[in-house]
Amino acid sequence: MSKPIIVIGGASWDTIIHLPTLPAPEPQTIWPDASYRTLGSTGAGKSLNLAALGHQVIFHTLLGQDAEGRQVRDALAHPELQLLVTETTTPTEQHVNLMSADGKRISLFVQPPAEPSGLDWAPLQQLAEGCQLAVVNILSYTRSALPWLQTINLPIWTDLHDYDGTNPYHQPFIDAASIIFLSSDNLPDYRQTMAQLVNQGKELVVCTHGAEGATLLTAAGEWLEQAAVPASQVLDTNGAGDAFFSGFLYRYIEGAALQDCLQAAAVCGALCVASQSLVSSDLQPEQLV
């Protein structure tokens, strides 16, 4: 059995509202096609997908002492997932996501993530020595974990999401990580940004392009492309990037070729968008081989 994976940061309780199109900036009354409340955020998505694929996951997150925090705990219950929670006086993170029929999203952070001034990392540090890598998501509070993770030489993966290539907020995560994921949403020249990241000593960089697939660049200069895998239906695109990340990581740990890792990632992403949850109930390891 492989060693556990640490995932740090990112769990919320979200309201998802489906609309035919995203609203124009004008006063109006809108009747949604559907709405529901569900688990959200990047750490929760990665943790549940990895757990569904059979990996032991240790997930650290911040939760408030409120009903939303309890709902997040319940939604993260999985036999392969060990949840470590730091409770905060700040309410649990909450988003309202407006979703259009073509999968576009406007995300409103109605309750932003907590930013505690100090954090006791000892419970996670006691477990980290027996883990194989850490996925550190780009929440403000997770930055204080980077120094001690580097001290114990635990490989760090991070997801920069819609990084624009210059925002200094992301630099501590870039400096600490050996493998980086990001999207091209805010990158007019994503190839240049990927090259810049590799030149900063990264082993590889993966850039996602939504329906246009993904690209990968290694430190050795290898360039790979992956087409998106068509989904059986598109119900909810929330969490697709985290599912993609998880599918790639699952095959990477197995020692698969990088092109096979990309293919597995694309399959995992396609399964996610065909579900209203962060992880598809249909996800099985055999589908990614």
Does residue 117 lie in a domain region?
yes
Does residue 225 lie in a domain region?
yes
CATH number for 66: 3.40.1190.20
Supply the pLDDT for residue 81. 98
Angle (CA) 214 58 90, round 5°: 95
Averaged over 109-117, what is the pLDDT?
93
Domains of the chain: total: 1
- pLDDT for residue 2 is more than 90: no
- pLDDT for residue 102 is more than 90: no
Amino acid identity, residue 43? Answer: G
pLDDT digits (tens, 9 = 90+) for 7-18: 999 999 999 999
Q: How many CB atoms lie within 10 A of CB 117?
A: 5
Does residue 226 lie in a domain region?
yes
Does residue 28 lie in a domain region?
no
Averaged over 244-273, what is the pLDDT?
97
Supply the pLDDT for residue 289. 80
User: How far is the CA of 46 from the CAs of 29, 209, 220, 245, in angstroms?
Assistant: 35, 18, 27, 7
pTM exceeds 0.75? yes
Does residue 62 lie in a domain region?
yes
pLDDT digits (tens, 9 = 90+) for 178-194: 999 999 999 999 999 99
Supply the pLDDT for residue 117. 84
Supply the pLDDT for residue 1. 59
Does residue 275 lie in a domain region?
yes
Does residue 288 lie in a domain region?
no
pLDDT digits (tens, 9 = 90+) for 139-184: 999 999 999 999 999 999 999 999 999 999 999 999 999 999 999 9
| Domain boundaries, position 103 | 5-20+33-282
E strand spans, the chain: 5-8, 12-19, 34-40, 57-64, 81-88, 94-100, 105-111, 133-136, 156-159, 179-183, 204-208, 214-218, 223-226
Strand, helix or coil for residue 49: helix
Does residue 25 lie in a domain region?
no
pLDDT digits (tens, 9 = 90+) for 189-220: 999 999 999 999 999 999 999 889 999 999 99
